[in-house]
């Protein structure tokens, strides 16, 4: 993963002093992949299917290896984004919470889907975050083979490090196809994980409010 400040061009004019300090450059967040070879992935997918006794010779299955390769390439390729933040001019100190953001990732043990929702909140410090960026951060860490526990903590730790809020909370609830479609076949089951940092961990009132609003306390 590469994080680099976005290049900006400064221009001075007669109103510079009245306008105040320049805006902080947005952090450009890019997940650097080692390289995607779709042709090799397609060939391997074809060999994989054939090894399982599934012929790809028919018209309906002939393009399946290529579709498999492109599908997994998409699942493992998060979109770059700018971490846009703004001064907390009003000194807002209550919880900011984005609920029920879609999460889709792939279990690193079986490469089967994990699908669910994420609730991400924070107690602002000196800066506040563009709300869509909470979903972008979740997507950034979800677009790779994952386990839910790690994904939850990665999102919380990253926001704590880059936003420097007074507290961060992340709750993810998801269904794991590796549990519902194979093995124990626990249809309808879901897994919930949480990570709380700062005041959302140490302050009982803030912790209770966050867990109640996300539904994790019920």
Catalytic residue among 3, 6, 108, 149: 108
Calpha distance 136→79 (Å, rounded):
8
CB atoms within 10 A of CB 120: 26
Q: Reply yes or no on whether 146 is catalytic.
A: no
Residue from 42, 154, 176, 209 carrying the catalytic annotation:
176
In the block, residue with structure tokens 């579709």: 67
Catalytically annotated residue among 31, 160, 164, 178: 178
For residue 143, indicate whether it is catalytic: no
State how far the Cα of 28 lies from the Cα of 1, in Å rounded to an integer. 11
To the query of whether residue 164 is one of the catalytic residues in this protein, the response is no
Give the angle subtended at the CA of 170 by the CAs of 167 and 173, to the nearest 5°.
165
For tokens 């990665």, the residue is 154
State yes or no: is 31 an active-site residue.
no
Catalytic residue from among 42, 140, 143, 148: 148
Task: For residue 185, indicate whether it is catalytic.
Answer: no
Catalytic residue among 110, 160, 162, 175: 110
Alpha carbon separation from 53 to 49, 50, 62, 63, 183 (Å, rounded): 7, 5, 14, 17, 21
User: Distance between CA atoms of 3 and 19, rounded to whole angstroms?
Assistant: 28
Among 107, 143, 146, 173, the active-site one is 107
Residues annotated as part of the active site: 107-110, 148, 176, 178
């Amino acid at each position: 993963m590469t994080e680099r400040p976005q290049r900006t061009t400064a221009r001075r004019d007669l109103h510079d002093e009245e306008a105040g300090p320049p805006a902080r450059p947005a952090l450009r967040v890019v997940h650097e992949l080692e390289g995607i070879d779709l042709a090799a992935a397609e060939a391997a997918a074809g060999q994989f299917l054939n090894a399982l006794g599934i012929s790809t010779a028919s018209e309906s299955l002939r393009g399946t290896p290529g579709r498999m390769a492109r599908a997994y390439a998409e699942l493992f390729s998060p979109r770059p984004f700018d971490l846009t933040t703004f001064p907390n001019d009003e000194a807002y100190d209550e919880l900011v919470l984005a609920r029920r953001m879609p999460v889709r990732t792939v279990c690193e043990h079986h490469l089967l889907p994990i699908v669910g929702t994420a609730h991400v909140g924070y107690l602002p410090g000196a800066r506040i975050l563009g709300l869509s960026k909470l979903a972008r951060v979740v997507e950034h860490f979800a677009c790779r083979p994952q386990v839910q526990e790690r994904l939850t903590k990665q999102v919380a730790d990253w926001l704590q490090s880059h936003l420097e809020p007074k507290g961060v909370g992340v709750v993810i609830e998801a269904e794991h196809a590796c549990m519902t479609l194979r093995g124990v076949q626990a249809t309808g089951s879901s897994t919930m994980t949480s990570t709380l940092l700062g005041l959302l961990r140490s302050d009982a009132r803030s912790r209770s409010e966050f867990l109640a609003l996300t539904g994790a306390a019920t």
